[in-house]
Amino acid sequence: MSTDIVRRSENQRMSLAVETGGFVFLAGLTAVKTRGGSVTEQTKEILERIDHHLAEAGTSKKNLVTAQVWLTDIATFDEFNLVWDAWVADAGKPARACVEACLADPALNVEVMVTARR
């Protein structure tokens, strides 16, 4: 069994994706272009970013294992789920947690972190 670790999209602090042991671990992703926008807008962008990073690692949302979701206001849970449910409709539904939390930037409403099998 290989213990190689591949790190993608690194900066001075972290990698946005790490591949090891047949899994792809994504960092918590937030909106970039829609920062300051609605939960719907930010969620759509984040899920597109997840699709991109998973594809770069040779996998897809069909292989999701886990997901963690942070919302700045749990009252937006239904708004988030409308976008999420459409996104996972034809994919493997991961084990998921969703909680309310303060995020590092007040313009951010959503953060999502996933793990997928390669």
Task: Check residue 2 and give its pLDDT.
Answer: 54
CA atoms of 10 and 66, how far apart (whole Å): 22
CB-neighbour burial class of residue 79 (10 A; exposed 0-12, middle 13-18, buried 19+): middle
Mean pLDDT over 40-69 rounds to 97
Query: Is residue 66 a contact partner of residue 114, using CB atoms and an 8 Å limit?
Result: yes
pLDDT in tens, 65-96: 999 999 999 999 999 999 999 999 999 899 99
Task: Check residue 98 and give its pLDDT.
Answer: 98
Percent of the chain topping pLDDT 90: 94
- pTM of the shown model: 0.94
> Taking all residues of the chain, what is their mean pLDDT, rounded to a whole number?
96
Task: Check residue 92 and give its pLDDT.
Answer: 84
